[in-house]
Each structure stands twice: as C-alpha cells, then as structure tokens.
Structure 1
C-alpha cells in the first residue's frame, strides 16, 4: 500500500551513543516529513515515544500483577495501546495497512488523539490518565506530512522499548530528549536553557539525601531530572529495607512537585516522570516568578512549603516588573529571585541543593544581591559550597562558571565549608563523572580540610567587617551632625527678612552643608562596602598557588566597577579635606 512503511525488527539499544544515533535517524525522517526544526520535532517525538514506552511499562506492571495475583487496571485500552495501532505486528496497525491511504492518519487524528486528550474529563479518571491527557493537550494532529514517513518514524521509535534502554542511565526519556535539546542549544547558542549534567544531579541528590515521606520540589523542573533521580534514590533506599504498600503509594503519588513555564519542556517532564514510575507528578505549568498559570490542575494539592528543594534555576535572564514586585528584594536578575523563592518555599529544617552562577556569589554592588545573601546567611545554614569546573555546562551551549549551594532553613550560618573542583578539566570528550566527586563525598561528613577544601568562619568574618567599618560609620555620623548644624544655620539665615540677609554667609553655609552631606554619604558608602564584602561568597581557595587568572569577563567588569567606585569615593574625600584645609588656612 502507498502509505505502508516496511516493518523492521526490534533492535536492542544499549547506551547513549546507540540511542543518540537512532534518534538522529528519526529526526532525519521527520525533517524529510516537513517537521524541519527541533522546536517542531521535539514535541512530536514526545508523545510518540511516550506512548511507546508507556505500553512497555504497562506490560511489565501487568506481568508483575499477574505474578502476585492482584488486579491491575491499565490506563489505556484496546485499540489505543501502542501494541494495537503502532507496533509493526499490531492488529489495528495491520488492518489500517490494508485500508486505503489516509486510514492511519484518520485513526490517529480523529480517534487516538481526541481519546487521549479526553481521559482527564472522565469521572473515574486516574492520576496517570490525567497526566496522559496533559501530555497530549498541545497535540492537535500528526505533524509529519505523509503516512509513509509517519509509519517509518513509528517503526524506528518501536525500537525504543523500555527494557532496551541503558540500565545504568536511569533517566529514560530524558536520555533521548536532553540529547536533542542540548544539540539544539549548541546550534542556536540558546543561553536561556541550561540542562543540568546527569552526574551533577546525582551528586546533589546524594548530598541532600531525600527520604520517604518528604516532599520534594523543583521550581525550574526542566525535563524533570532532579525529581526523577530523587525517585530513584528513595526507591532504592526503601527497597533495601522492604517498604510497605503505603510507602510506595506515597512515593508515587504524594512526593514530587515542580514548576515549568516552557510549553515545549512541560510535557517532556511529565512523560519522563510517569515513565520512571511516578503515577502523579505534581507539575505546575506556568511562570514560577510571576505566578502566571497556564495549567495548574496537577499542582492543586501541593503544599505551600516543602521538605526538600533541588533545582538548577535559569541564570543570566532578566525579569520584568511583574516578577520583581512579588519579592522583598527587587531585581531583574532571574537567579536572585529564584533563590528568594526557594527560601520562601522551604519548610523550617528543610534542605536545599541549588546550582547558582558565580555572579550571584561574588556580586555585592547591587542591593538585591547583598540582601538576598544576607537573608540566606541569617535564616539558613549554608553549610557547603562546591565550585564546579568551568566546562560543566558547555554541552548546553553555556560556558558560565557555576557552583552548588547546600543549606538548611531555620538556623543562621556560622561557618561555610568549601570544596573546589574548578581545576578539573571538563570537555565534551572528558565529561564530569560521579567518580570525580569521590574525594568530596569522603570529606563531606567531617568537613575535613585539604588542598581542595577549607572552612570560612562567617561569625569572625562579620565581626572583622564590623570592626573595620566602625570608624567610617563614626566619621559619617560626625559629618552628619556637622551637616545638621549648618542646615539649621542656613535655615535661619534664609528666614531673615531680605534686608537683613547676608548673601556671603548663606553661600558659605550652603557650601559647607553640601560638602559635609557628601562626605557623610561617602563615609557611609565606604562602611557599607566593607560590610557588604562579607557577602562575597565565592570559593576563593586559600590553598591554591597564584597562577593564571581564571575569572570570567563578567567578574572582572564587576570588580573594575566596584574598585572604580571606591577610587572615586576616596578622591572625593581627599578633595573635600584638601579644600577645607585651604579655606581654613
């Protein structure tokens, strides 16, 4: 038949390279089929690959239920299961192949898609059926131009049987989609979308150690990597001790929460989490910072505070007034607003692991940066900072320097333990592996010192800063008192009737008031600068030999700006003193 593609035998796909090669061949077909860009073919692949893998998991669950002698109710029924209509040997597929051209498109566009989208409207809809409908909510019809190309894609996707995925790579669909999206990021230099390397996620989850019964939240979920790995972490822990049915129900239905604003990524996250075994991923579709909701039904039962937050928020972005006005410390810097949001949404004693850019750590020249970090140290125990190598996010099209922060809400920070991984050379051919965190994991429990690790006493640092700033505050108060005297004198001089006013005296008083007010501001600024330097939290390894300057251009520009301001303030003070000396002499 004209619309029939030649069926192919199932091929076992062992690792990421095999998967990526196969995905590339599928994308080639989709481009041939008028789905020309990643923005088009990623959503198309999402629902196709999801339905394929869902069917495989459905078979596994049915087999397990039969073995245990319990009843299993599948989310999909004949003829809408992958095995019926898409598998090369499916009965519905065979029947459609025998019909006239257009039969497959008619079945999918007029039958399958409306059926899947309508599942959530059923009175007895399960959590998984509601998620399936949400994944399909943006799908109107098949985007590939011909049935031949569509069937060719189905046959190649059929090779992605769930059991054929690399067993060491726990991320399932994420293995496929993030490979696609990273390539898209490299090609288009899309700096707004950063995808966290798998080994960084594994390391962060291991440090935070989420447990059964805790709620876990990612306000910038992306494809769901942190939530998926947390599921694997908890499942492994409870499997080892023999968990109850209630614990498994809690893990699958009442544990994982997140937010994602990108319509392209949102269904991918849902699909990824469902295929991990999370029956009810509570993902809110909308803008975390503005609160603008696109779809919130799956998040309706979410708590206001969470036990664990694991996230890699966007950084480098600029937010508008609608986002800024929702936070205490207003700024357009996306990463600063996200850190405030994280602190707002953590329960007392809640734990957080977050990826931040270097700029958030070192910048002290903007009030929102300083006050956000002041709040972090005052309200939370920032117990660990890990400086990552510079090339960690290169594959995502971003060369930004990053760090990991780990903190617990509810007690102030007294000391920060730093670990420096920045000397590691990370490239595409030599990516960051979990093994390279080995020494870090070994030293973390005791916070031991080494060439790569050290501790900063925050209490002492604050005391020293206060001591250094005190003379400048004293001088500022002195100048303010003098200014107040001259302000009152000027008021009285100006209050005289015109014939009694002394123009020279008024000019002198006005000049002194301006100079003293300016000097008071300059001394205050100097004191504030010293105090704010406490909140430069970057990992400056005291054990590292002086060598090549590894600071980024943005860091250098910010430092130059700060130093330039200090020089201008110092010159102004010197000028003020010199001018006063000349007049007094």
Structure 2
C-alpha cells in the first residue's frame, strides 16, 4: 500500500468516506455496512468499482395496482463495461443497519431483495445483510414460467464465475478475505452455535474444530503435492446443499470424516487429546461450513486471521480468566524492533493465545519469501507467494525448530496451537507449563516434552555442541512477552523463593524478568511489557539495579495510558534488553560501561480510552483524508493466474506513533 500525503480534504466527526463516490457520508451503522460490502464485492468477488452504483432506484410495476413504483437499492453491480441502466444489473445488494432482522416486515429479505430481484429481469443473484447476518439468493423461473422462485445459496458467483465454479471439488482458490469479512464470519458462526445449537459452554471449541478442518483441508494441497495427488476439496458446501436434509447430511459426513482424518494425522495429532468430536447438528455444521468455505485461510494475512481469531478467543477464554490481549500494534512494533530471522530461536513464556509467536512467524515468512523469490520486487505479488509449497515448507521447518511458547492455562495452550496452525504451523512447541516454576513443574511429562523439543531444536539449528543439556534455560536468542501483572495475580511462595528478585518483590512481572534472563543465551535479547511502577517507583530501585547489572538496555518505549484500555487501566512501557556476558558485567562493575539507549514516548496508539479508533487530525481537530493506493491480488477467471488490481481510495490514517517509533529504532541501530 502506497500513500500520498497530500491533504485533500477533511472529515467531520461521525463521518466516513465512501470509497465508491469519494464523498463523505454520515457514519451510521448502515453506511459502515455498505462500505464493508463495497470492499468485499470489489476485492473478494472481483467486481470493479466502475461497474457499481450506490442508492440506485429501480422501477417496477405494482402487481396489485398496475402502477409504476420505485425501490432504492443500496448497491447494484452492472455488467462489465455496460451503461448503468436497470437492464444491465447483474448483482443486487440490500444493506440494512444492524438492528434490522432478515424477517423484518418492511426491510427484511422478502420485501426488499426478493422484490428487487423480481423487478430486474436479467439479474439472477443478490444478497441481503445487516452487517452481522448475510443472505444470498438466486432467482429462478417457477415451473410454469409465470413467476419466480428464490433459492437460498451459501454464496453467489464472483466476476467471471458461475454456480458450477463454486461447486467444483478441485477449486484451489477460495476468496481471500478483505477488511473485516473474516471477523464477521467468525462472529456469525460463533453466535449461531451459541444461539441455535444449545452449546453455550463449548461453542468456541466447536467452532475451532470446524476452523481446524478448513485449515487441514487447505493444507492438504501441499501435503498431497509431493506424492503427485491432485487436490480435491473435502471442506466445501454446494451452493444449495444447505437447503435439503440430504444435502446437510452429506456436508456433515464430509466434515466429520475430515476431522477424523486430521486427528489421526501425525502432523496435527498433538493438537488434540483424541476425545474431541464435532457435536453440532447437520444443519449447524452445514451453516458454519458454508460460512467458512468461502475463504482461503492460508492466503489471508496474519492481521486479518489474527483479529478474527482473537475476537472469539477474547470473547470466551481470556476475559473469563481476567487475561487480555496485547494489542496487535504493540506486538508488531516489538517484533519489528527485535527483527527475528530464520536463525533465531524465540520464546514467549506467557504466550496466551500466541499473538507474539504468530507475528514472529509472519515476520520470518516475509524474509523467507524474499530469499526464495528475489526477482519479485512488488510487495503485493510477493505476498501472493507467501503460501507457495516452497515457502510453507521453510516456514514449517523454522517454526518446528525455533518457535516456543509456554502458558499456565491449558485451554490457552490449545488455542495458541490452533492459532499457530492458522498462521502457518509451528504448533508443536507450545506447552502447558508455569514458566516461573520451570523446571520444577508438577507435570514432569510436559517438562520431558519441552526438553525433547529443545534437544531437537539444538540439533536442527546445529548449535547443540556449544550448548549444555536440554533444559530450556540459556537456549533462546529472543524472548517476547507480556507477563501477567497486577495485585490479583499471586505467585506461590515456594516458587518465588527460587528467584533472587524475590528479595525485593514477589510481583509476577518482577519475577518474570529474572525467569526470562534464565531462558536467554548470553547476548540474547528480550522485549517485554512492564508496568511503569517497576521503572519509576522508589521501592523498586533494587529491581532496576538488578536489571542494569544483568542486561544492556537497548530501548525503552513509554506507552500512552490507552494501551490496554478499556480492558485494564495500567501505565506500561516496552523494555528491550540484551543479556550481558560475564566479561561485560565485569567491565560495567569497573565503571567503564558507556553506551547509547534508544528512548521514545508513544503518545498516540491509534485508539482512545474506550477502544475506539482515532485518526490523524488537522489543527482544527478535523480528521484528515489521504489518497491511498490499495493494491490487491485477484485471480483471472479463465486460468486462475494472479493479477494485481489497484484501487485509489481516500482514507483516514490511524494516529499511532508505534510504526514511526519502530522505524526510528531501526535507523538508530543503522547509525
């Protein structure tokens, strides 16, 4: 994405810029939904913006009175290159606000979408959405040819496609989700299970099993490739299969067989305990599978998948246990500043659902793609190569050898493993362990697994000769972590007594500093989120002295108070440290230590105290609009080959200092 920083115009509060008309509109629920649908139909379905029109009036004859009437359609798509006339409409999109239900007597599916399709002779397909629910319809002639019938579809065809294309078993390119499409699919699926299947306690896990089936099915593309086996999807839903009991049963059988296969597959078996099963009704499985099958999870960006996944994890697991996500912009800045490579062994000793580890994997994936395809200089075309067989193999090997995560919560361990699989594998080294208690953890089997994994990693990375033993201590090049902190988190006295820092504080965030020190190699680095009290309170001076003795300070970034709001209000900083060698410590003790430290303050983090996004504003407080060149990859209908499409869009830019800070830090290192 390239930007032109010429200020073209401003937005008033509560306005949004329409990407179709490039005019400001009031930011209502309906308008936001419409903008989302425009992007979806453009990027995912391949319809050009020049062939779309919003708020288009169609004319039809009232069958009761014989009089002409008008109906305003929120979005219509015309046949490519044809004039914007009613006879050339090929798709209709009815977009309502979030309060309108699909059976609403005035704005529901029947009175809006069915009426519009009946009125437009040559238009066969349409959709209705309120931003949460989405309904696809096909118009067909009835048996006698005097009226129309309307069939529910799981999806409708994109540009250059027909219904047969959607039903093909060898279809290798599902849609790459744009903007918030995947988040909406995950939410819609979770809410359906929660509300319609009577499974309020395990809705999250039932959805994850189906997501995992989808991922496994996509991965079979690469798993079958070395044997020369042609890929045929198992995770798919015929566009009308959901409409019959027989069709729903067929979908459920395919999905359950796939789940059985993946649990028995050696690559993925360690993600499951073996007793898991998909317990949804055939109707529920067909509905969720229909939602998920539209999209390629492997081709989706880590940001899109990560946000969608975190949406449902946050809703079910983390808030129940008082845990909260590290915001993605903070994770991204920390990973960019530490710049892990293919030769870096990484640990997060409080990994939660795996946010840092997924970001590391994505960071290294880009480096691997650049090495394998040095001739590709366009970022968008390079991104299209992120999931080739060659890149995936290198990424899988890196993750299996080099990425480790520990967490005290067994449910989060499983969630992190699934998150890593969604990001591109590397789930094998996620363990259920109390990092503060390591290696004296009351689950010796898990400790044995960790040490076997360390041994395997040492051999694979060819540094086993210089390393002593298979303990996880002193084995890691980089640690990323946001440890649990706060008065509510207690550490067992026996565990705390193992730490030198317990003389000054039993707070988990303090003890985690020493635990991370123990896990690092000499010269290893860590990036850690810490409450400001450790860095500034007089009573924590001994802790700071301990840090200065053991570590070289690389950088310190003071975060705005909004960092973790609205979940929790804590003033925090990012601290970047490097473990000193014994010689470096001796030099420091002799008073000869002298080095520069990068310091920055992130005054804006892209959101306010309520978690709402904030954007760059001018001197008068109005939001600034910038022309943005959005590039994305589409696939030619005739041969499936990727092509670059460009959309110039007037957009707001988040008011976030972290990207500038990470860039400034890398420049600081170069200088």
Q: TM-score higher than 0.5 here? A: yes
The Cα of 1:287 is off from its aligned counterpart by 2.1
Uncovered stretches (5+) of structure 1, i.e. residues with no partner: 120-124, 449-585
Distance 2:253 2:223 in 1: 30
What is the 5 A alignment of 1:393-472?
393-394=564-565, 397-410=567-580, 411=584, 414=594, 416-422=597-603, 426-427=607-608, 428-430=611-613, 436-444=657-665
Q: CA deviation at 1:257?
A: 0.9
Q: Aligned partners of 1:107 and 1:179: how far apart in 2?
A: 27
Which of the numbers 335, 356, 367 marks the counterpart of 1:205? Answer: 335
How big is the shift at 1:138? 6.8
Change (3 A) 1:337 1:34: farther
Q: Matched residues in 1 for 2:285 and 2:548: separation? A: 55
Give the aligned partner of residue 558 of structure 2: 387
Q: 1:24, CA displacement in angstroms?
A: 2.4
Shift, 1:282, TM fit: 1.0
Determine if the alignment matches structure 1 residue 196 to structure 2 residue 326.
yes
User: Could you tell me which residue of structure 2 aligns to residue 153 of structure 1?
Assistant: 288
SS in 1 for 2:511: helix
User: Can you list the C-alpha shifts for 1:342-401, whole angstroms capped at 9, x where unaligned?
Assistant: 111010010111111223323343xxx544432211011012110111112225x22222
Contact 1:194–1:314, Cα closer than 8 Å, also in 2: no
Aligned partner (choices 496, 499, 518) of residue 344 of structure 1: 518
Larger Rg: 1
- Deviation for aligned residue 1:447: 5.2
1:8 has 2:179 as partner: no
- Tell me if structure 2 keeps the 8 A contact 1:283–1:298: no
| Cα shift at 1:324 | 1.6
- Cα deviations by residue, 1:220-276 (Å, 9 ceiling, x for unpaired): 112222122212222322332349999666424311111122232222211222233
**Residue 113 and residue 426 in structure 1: after superposition, are their counterparts in 2 closer, same or farther (change >3 A)?**
closer
Comparing 385-394 with 248-257, which one deviates more in the overlay? 248-257
Equivalent pair of 1:10/1:158 in contact (CA under 8 Å): no
Partner of 1:174: 306
Alpha-carbon distance between aligned partners in 2 of 1:322 and 1:160, rounded to the nearest angstrom: 49
Structure 2: gaps (5+ residues)? 1-150, 158-174, 374-389, 455-471, 586-592, 616-653
Secondary structure of the structure 1 residue equivalent to 2:330: helix
In 1: Cα distance, 2:340 partner to 2:603 partner: 27
Q: What is the distance in 1 between the residues matched to 2:666 and 2:306?
A: 31
Q: Which position in structure 1 is the counterpart of 2:453?
A: 301
Q: Does 1:354 align with 2:513?
A: no
Counterpart among 387, 393, 416 of residue 269 in structure 1: 416
Q: Deviation of residue 58 (structure 1)?
A: 2.7
With over 3 angstroms needed to count, the CA separation of the structure-2 counterparts of 1:249 and 1:225, relative to structure 1, is closer
Name the counterpart of 2:183: 20
Task: Summarize the Cα distance change of 1:23–1:336 in structure 2 as closer, same or farther, 3 Å threshold.
Answer: same
* Aligned-partner Cα distance in 1 for 2:501–2:255: 50
Q: 2:273 and 2:614 mapped to 1: Cα distance?
A: 36
CA distance in 2, matches of 1:247, 1:204: 23
Q: Could you report, residue by residue, the CA deviation over 1:533-584 in whole angstroms, capped at 9, with x for unpaired residues?
A: xxxxxxxxxxxxxxxxxxxxxxxxxxxxxxxxxxxxxxxxxxxxxxxxxxxx
Q: Report if aligned partners of 2:327, 2:564 keep a CA contact under 8 Å in 1.
A: yes
Q: Give, in whole Å, the separation in 1 of the partners of 2:412 and 2:229.
A: 29
Q: Is the 8 A contact 1:52 1:157 kept in 2?
A: yes
Query: Alpha-carbon deviations, 1:324-343, whole Å to 9, x = none?
Result: 23323324422112111111
C-alpha spacing 1:232/1:380, structure 2 compared with 1 (3 Å): same
Once residues 273 and 321 of structure 2 are traced to their aligned partners in structure 1, the CA distance between those partners, rounded to angstroms, is 28
Aligned position for 2:436: 289
User: Which whole-Å CA distance do the structure 1 matches of 2:344 and 2:287 have between them?
Assistant: 44
Q: TM-score, normalised by structure 1?
A: 0.60
Residue of structure 1 equivalent to 2:640: none
- What secondary structure, in the 3-state scheme, does the structure 1 residue paired with 2:561 have? coil
Q: Secondary structure at the match of 1:403?
A: strand
1:375 corresponding residue in structure 2: 546
TM-aligned CA distance change 1:141 to 1:256, over 3 Å: same
Q: 2:205 aligns with which of 43, 67, 70?
A: 43
How far apart, CA to CA, are the structure 2 residues paired with 1:441 and 1:36?
44
2:179/2:304 contact within 8 Å kept = no
For the residue of structure 1 that corresponds to 2:411, the secondary structure is coil
Contact 2:418 2:427 in 1 (8 A): no
> Against the structure 1 CA distance between its residues 387 and 143, is the aligned structure 2 distance closer, same or farther, given a 3 Å change threshold?
farther
Question: SS at 1:355's partner residue?
Answer: strand
Q: Judging by fraction of residues, say which structure has more helix.
A: 1
Number of matched residues? 405
1:88 equivalenced with 2:88 (yes/no): no
Q: 1:241 aligns with which of 357, 367, 371?
A: 371
Check conservation: 2:216, 2:262, Cα contact below 8 A. no
Q: Which has the higher strand share?
A: 2
Which residue of structure 1 lines up, in the alignment, with residue 500 of structure 2?
A: 328
**Secondary structure of the equivalent of 1:51?**
helix
Q: Counterpart of 1:256? A: 403
TM-score, length of structure 2 as denominator length: 0.53
Instruction: Give the 3-state SS of the residue equivalent to 1:309 in structure 2.
Output: strand
CA distance in 2, matches of 1:362, 1:25: 45
